[in-house]
Structure 1
Amino acid sequence: MHSKVKIVIVGPPECGKTMLANFLSEAAEIGSGEYRPTKGCRIIEFEIPNVSVKGMTTKAEVELWDVSGDRSYENCWPAIQKGLNGVIFVYNPGRDEHAQALDSLHSHFAEQQGVRETQCIVFCHHKPGTRGKGAKLGSAFNPIPKIDTHIEEDGGGVRRDFSNFIGSVLSHMSAVAERQENFILQ
């Protein structure tokens, strides 16, 4: 079994999306600490060698779309949303305005696209040297798993949580394909 998945990573400006995307993809440039906003969208392609999907291990090809948090790029969202399989919501839990921004992003990238909770995850991203109390997310996020990401303290755990998320998305995609095949056969 070999699977390809398109994941978008969204959140407000300066919440750590690019840092997380670089870390998860094992990109060379993890960052200098200097903030450089993403212009529109950046696509990173990489493989995860061992993802568990319905009790089987597979290799997943991941297209990770790192979407700018700057709302001036909102006109690009329809093109970015096309064919997405999962959404990673990122925010800094120490900033209330970040939690508020996620509500709008959830509406655009999950609700309007018909993306289910099993295809979403929230990374409560703690930038190095910061601590947050946990800004309250809207009720739309209640059924979505929330993961505290402390890359410098538990990078392996963050990668494991990401791999489990990819497995969940691939399981959902497999179930949808099975239902479509069964419908055609009837």
Structure 2
Amino acid sequence: MESATKICVVGPPGVGKTAIARLLADWDTSAGAPYVATQALRIQELDRSLGKKRFSIQLWDCSGDSEFQPCWPALQRGAHGLILVRNAEASLEEQEKQLENWYKVFATPNRLKASQCVIVNVSRSNGGVSGLPAGSGRGLLANVNQVNVSLLEPDCQQRLFLALEGILGGA
């Protein structure tokens, strides 16, 4: 196994970044657990196979709070992939601008390709998850894959693993 593959999990505060990282790392993610804001960074580790290759993965769950913005250049350094998380139930226009900013801060300095990034549209209710309209990403997000997940649906973890495999395959 090679050195750890670093994937940053980013997005605005309270959208579900930690829940996504914990699901991918196979941690218990009780839907009723109280919200605890990430203070700068949490790292979740996991091992995953893709074909015959085995990956040791570090998910860098980065705080979306602007208080920690001075830390972001250090957090993004050396990233191999990027998971952009958005609240599927919030304003699309506002979040698209935020996602583009996260992409500029975390993907651009690492020269990540669109295939090394994914947008996760998170809902905390059953069904009806909507993502950014196809082709809506003007420039930066135009070719980034998306996955729609509801934290309450049983296939949520499986859908996230497929998205993670897409990043690993693009790296």
1:7 matches 2:14: no
- Structure of higher CA gyration radius: 1
Change in 2 beyond 3 A, CA 1:38/1:31: farther
The one-letter code of the counterpart of 2:7 is: I
What pairs with 1:22-37 in structure 2 (closer than 5 Å)?
22-30=22-30, 32-37=32-37
SS at match of 1:77: helix
The 8 Å contact of residues 94 and 134 in structure 1, kept in 2 or not, is answered as no
Paired with 2:108 and 2:3, the residues of 1 have a C-alpha distance of 24
What pairs with 1:83-162 in structure 2 (closer than 5 Å)?
83-96=78-91, 97-129=94-126, 131-134=128-131, 138-139=137-138, 140-153=140-153, 154-162=155-163
Paired with 1:68 and 1:122, the residues of 2 have a C-alpha distance of 17
1:61 matches 2:60: no
The 8 Å contact of residues 116 and 168 in structure 2, kept in 1 or not, is answered as no
- Specify which structure has the higher proportion of helix: 1
RMSD: 2.2
Q: Which runs of 5+ in 1 are unaligned?
A: 173-186
- The C-alpha deviation readout for 1:66-115, integer Å capped at 9, x for no partner, is 00110110111121111110100010122123332111111111123321
Deviation at 1:30, TM superposition (A): 4.5
Corresponding residue of 2:50: 51
Corresponding residue pairs, total:
165
The equivalent position to 1:75 in structure 2, one of 60, 70, 77, is 70
Change in 2 beyond 3 A, CA 1:79/1:24: same
Paired with 1:58 and 1:132, the residues of 2 have a C-alpha distance of 32
Change in 2 beyond 3 A, CA 1:58/1:151: farther
The 8 Å contact of residues 92 and 132 in structure 1, kept in 2 or not, is answered as no
Greater shift in the superposed pair: 58-67 or 20-29? 20-29
Query: Normalised by the size of structure 2, how large is the TM-score?
Result: 0.84
The 8 Å contact of residues 87 and 120 in structure 1, kept in 2 or not, is answered as yes
Identity percentage of aligned residues: 27
Paired with 1:44 and 1:156, the residues of 2 have a C-alpha distance of 15
Query: Normalised by the size of structure 1, how large is the TM-score?
Result: 0.78
The 8 Å contact of residues 7 and 85 in structure 1, kept in 2 or not, is answered as yes
The one-letter code of the counterpart of 2:77 is: K
Paired with 1:167 and 1:98, the residues of 2 have a C-alpha distance of 25
